[in-house]
Amino acid sequence: MTKPRLQLSRRTFATTAAVAAGAVALDAFAIEPRWLDVTRHDVPIPNCPGSLEGFTIVQLTDVHLSSFGSLEQSVVEAVGRVQPQLVVITGDALDSPEILPVLRQLCSELRNAGGGTELLGLAGNWEHWGKVSLESLHAAYASAGGKLLVNDGITVSGVSVVGTDDGLAGLPDLPRVFSQARAEVALLLTHSPALLDRAAPDAPRFSLSLAGHTHGGQGTIGPFAPLVPPGSGRFVAGFYDTPVGRAYVSRGLGTSVLPARFACRPELPVFRLVRA
C-alpha cells in the first residue's frame, strides 16, 4: 500500500511564500543595516619593529551618512573598546554638502572615543558626484583634528600612510602617492578597489592596502554577490593579493540606492600589526 502524497495547496504555498518574503524584507531593511559586525584581523609584518607590534587600525568606509543614528553610535562605542592608534575613513562618508555637520560630529566622536586617536579620511566617488568640495572635506576632518588625504601621505607613529583620490570619480595620481611612502611599514588607502589592479608591475608593495566601495555587494546569495558597483573590478570583500601587496576590501557600513542589506552586515574591520 502506497503512502498518500502530501498536497500543497496554492493558498498554502502563497501564504508560505509571503511569510518568507516578509522575513527576508524585515531582515534586509530593518535588522541587518543596523547590525554591526566588528571583524578582527592580524596583519603579519616581516621584521616588524617592536614599537609597532600591536599597532591597531580601524577602518570605516561607505558610511553614507544621513544622521547620527544607532549604527554610528555602535561604531563609536566599538572604537572606544578597541582604542586604536589610527582610524581611517576610506571614502563615501557622505553624499551631499548638507551632511557635512554630521561628518564633523562623527569625526569628533571617533576622536574622543579613541582617546585622541589619529583620524584620516579619503574622498570617494559619492563625495565627487555629490559636489562635496575637497576644501569642505579638508575642513570637516581638520575640525576634529583629522586630515584628508588626496594623493598625499603622512606618517603616524612610524607607519607611513598614503591615500589616493578615488579611482572612479576622482583624479588619482599613483606615482605621486607611491612617492609619499617613506617608512618600511606602509599603508595604502583608496576608495574604489579596481584602482589597485592599475598599478604597474614594478609598483612598491605595501604592508597593507585598504579599500571599500563594493558594500560587499550589499546582498549576497551564499558566497556570491550578484551586484557590485562600477569601480569594484574583481573585488567584493575580504583579503586579496594585488600588484601593491595584500589588500582588504571592507563591506562598508552604509547603504546606497536601496537602504537594505541581506546576508551582508555592515562591517567595522580592525587590523592589528604583528611580527611575521
The Cα–Cα gap between 258 and 255 comes to 7
DSSP-derived letter for residue 64 is -
The amino acid at 271: F
The amino acid at 266: P
At 20 the pLDDT is 42
Alpha helix (H) ranges present in the chain?
Answer: 10-26, 70-82, 100-113, 125-129, 134-142, 174-179
At 16 the pLDDT is 46
Which residue stretches of the chain have pLDDT < 70? 1-27
The Cα–Cα gap between 55 and 86 comes to 8
At 224 the pLDDT is 87
For residue 44, the cross-strand partners are 274
The Cα–Cα gap between 259 and 5 comes to 43
At 21 the pLDDT is 46
The Cα–Cα gap between 190 and 244 comes to 12
The Cα–Cα gap between 172 and 156 comes to 22
pTM summary value: 0.91
Encode pLDDT of 11-66 as tens digits: 664 554 454 445 445 567 779 999 999 999 999 999 999 999 999 999 999 999 99
The Cα–Cα gap between 141 and 107 comes to 7
For residue 271, the cross-strand partners are 41, 57
- Taking alpha carbons only, the member of 36, 146, 166, 37 closest to residue 92 is 166
